[in-house]
Amino acid sequence: MTNHAAEVQAWLEPRADEMAELLVKLVAVDSENPPGRALGRCAQVLREAMENLGLGPEIIEIADPSGELEDPCIVRGTAGDGDKLVYFHGHFDVVPAQDRKQFTAERRDGKIIGRGTADMKGGIVSMLYGAAAAKELGLLGDGRIVLYLVCDEETGSVVGAGHLREAGLIDPRALAMVTGEPSGGSIWNAARGAVSVRVDVQGREAHVGQASLGVNAFQRMLGVARPVEAYAAEMAERHTSFPMDANDAPGTMLVVGGLSGGGSNFNVVPGSAYFTVDGRYNPEEDLDGELKRLMGIIDEAAREIGANVSVEVTQLQPSASTEQTHPAAAALARVVSEVEGTPARFEMCAGILETRWYAQLGIPAFGYGAGRLDVSHGPN
């Protein structure tokens, strides 16, 4: 049997500095989302790199109904022309930086450090060069790789990956999908779903000297939030059956009050207040049912205290999972084991992944890439 791992490694080795320089160049494009800036500029850097690798790139311009994203687009490339299809999928937006210095990538001790190196511009470079290696070495046979790079994963990917789904650009007959997210050496074969809501509470303003004439929206907000906190504590005790990283809690995770605010001045009874609820639900949970339950808890709490409350659902994204025994999972595990020299581990991602867009169409989908999730959004 041909040792393809060694063959690919030999092709990549002399291109190591070239790959590193591309990552440094990508990090320098501050494609922060939100607000979604410099997306077109980053796409052009990717298009040029893919052109140099013979991946036939094109930029697909897409519409953003909110008008907030700057030059929203998808970059598509292809390696091979066979019928058997595998998708490589990634995103080139990054979460906002804590320091502008993060957009100057630093090479240190064999690592590249900077905003997006792991999540996931480094993963993109890996996928581009992996696809190019497979093409140049004649390893694709009767298969092909289609690369999709989207612009808004950090804010839900409804514009980018959502467009792929709605426009019929994802072929449900595909053999598999892989995204190079920072899985820390594990294969992510499952990911949580997401429910996010904003709760607005109305009151009536009054000057502090006549506070008795007002209705304090902040106090009523607290009365609504407390049972939601109890719900969050209950869900945290409902554990998944999927293996997870030792640092990740196995229960469904909710953040109550990640954003909150209200009022007009320190000496005025607040006439309005709001708080958010953001949840990552394990695959075993009925997402629609839990959203209905959460809304019911909020409505009941509001009725009990006579509060005027409105709720906006800001995110509803399903979970995704592929069985470890699926042939595509077994193939990926075999390759990982061959390259790494150790048995592959399957784990569930603690967050949500782009795999959901493919899993909904019945395509086995996985996250596997360099980097650590626990530092990907942080200052280091």
Single residue among 317, 334, 362 that ends a domain in this structure: 317
Comparing 374 with 191, the larger pLDDT belongs to 191
Question: Which amino acid makes up residue 17?
Answer: D
Interstrand relation of 106-108 and 84-91 (parallel, antiparallel or unpaired): unpaired
Same structural domain, 85 and 125: yes
Length of the chain measured in residues: 380
pLDDT in tens, 86-144: 999 999 999 999 999 999 999 999 899 999 999 999 999 999 999 999 999 999 999 99
pLDDT in tens, 228-254: 999 999 999 999 999 999 989 999 999
CA separation for the pair 186, 196 (Å, rounded): 27
Single residue among 274, 302, 317 that ends a domain in this structure: 317
Same structural domain, 76 and 216: no
Average pLDDT, the chain: 96
pLDDT of amino acid 376? 86
pLDDT of amino acid 134? 97
Give the model's confidence band at 335: pLDDT under 50 very low, under 70 low, under 90 confident, else very high: very high
Is residue 145 predicted with pLDDT exceeding 50? yes
Single residue among 299, 317, 335 that ends a domain in this structure: 317
pLDDT of amino acid 323? 95
CA separation for the pair 42, 34 (Å, rounded): 15
Same structural domain, 181 and 295: no
φ, ψ of residue 274 to 5 degrees: the values are -150, 160
Q: Which long-range contacts (CB under 8 A, 24 or more apart) does 355-358 make?
A: 355/177, 355/179, 355/188, 355/191, 355/320, 355/322, 356/191, 356/193, 356/317, 356/318, 356/319, 356/320, 357/157, 357/161, 357/162, 357/164, 357/165, 357/170, 358/87, 358/89, 358/170, 358/174, 358/177, 358/320
Same structural domain, 313 and 323: no
Same structural domain, 258 and 363: no
Same structural domain, 302 and 273: yes
pLDDT in tens, 267-316: 999 999 999 999 999 999 999 999 999 999 999 999 999 999 999 999 99
Nearest to 88 by CA among 21, 170, 30: 170
- Output the domain CATH number for residue 218: 3.30.70.360
Same structural domain, 303 and 369: no
Same structural domain, 187 and 205: no
pLDDT of amino acid 348? 97
Same structural domain, 74 and 187: yes
Distance of CA 151 to the CA centre of its chain: 11
The domain in which residue 308 lies consists of: 193-317
Same structural domain, 173 and 89: yes
pLDDT of amino acid 378? 86
Same structural domain, 181 and 100: yes
CA separation for the pair 110, 19 (Å, rounded): 13
Is residue 1 predicted with pLDDT exceeding 50? no
- Total domains present in the chain: 2
Q: Do residues 83 and 173 make contact, with C-beta atoms less than 8 angstroms apart?
A: no
- Output the domain CATH number for residue 354: 3.40.630.10
pLDDT of amino acid 2? 65
Same structural domain, 24 and 135: yes
